[in-house]
Amino acid sequence: MHSQVTVTVNGAPVVVPSGTTVAVAIVMAGQACRMSVSGEPRGPLCGIGICFECRVAIDGNPHVRSCQVLCEQGMEVATEK
């Protein structure tokens, strides 16, 4: 069990304590999770899997609510454009 894990957000590495959610890693990387249908940047709102604002692609799996997923070593996160 690592005490810290490294994930990439749009290719840039982010080091976080284990137990951190992907949504948190994205905010720490200073990135928006997705662009809205009219092109606004959006980040997490509810933090509990209700609002879907934090949805991203994780390891190629699209539309995953990043607040519901814990970071794992080597995980590749791509925000939605």
Partner 1 sequence: MNREERHHFDVLVIGGGPAGMAAAACAAECGVRVGIVDENPSIGGQIWRGESNGQRNTDASKWFQRVSMSGAAVLCGWRVVHQPEENVLLAENPSGFCDLKYRRLVLAPGARERFLPFPGWTLPNVMGAGGLQAMVKCGLPIRGKRVIVAGTGPLLLAVADYLRKHGAEIPVICEQASWRSLAKFGLALVSWPAKIVQGIGLKLDLAGVPLAANSWPLAAHGQKTLDRVTVSRAGRVEDIPCDYLACGFHLVPNTELPLLLGCAVGNGCVQVDEFQETTISSVFCAGEPTSIGGVELALIEGQIAGLAAAGRTTEARARFDKRKKARGFAQLLDQTFRLRAELRSLSLPETVVCRCEDVSYWRLRQHTSWRSAKLHTRCGMGPCQGRVCGPTTQFLFKWKPDSVRPPVFPARVETLAALARQLEVQHSELTGGH
| Interface residue list for partner 1 (CB under 8 A) | 16-17, 19-21, 23-25, 27-28, 30, 32-33, 36-38, 40-53, 55, 61, 63-64, 67-70
Rounded-to-integer distance, Cα 36 and Cα 53, Å = 9
Q: Please give the C-alpha separations between residue 44 and each of 6, 16, 21, 62, 73, in angstroms, as whole numbers.
A: 21, 18, 12, 16, 22
Nearer to partner 1, 12 or 46 (CB): 46
Residue identified by tokens 């879907």 is 52
Closest approach of partner 1 to the CB of residue 67, in Å: 7
Closest approach of partner 1 to the CB of residue 11, in Å: 19
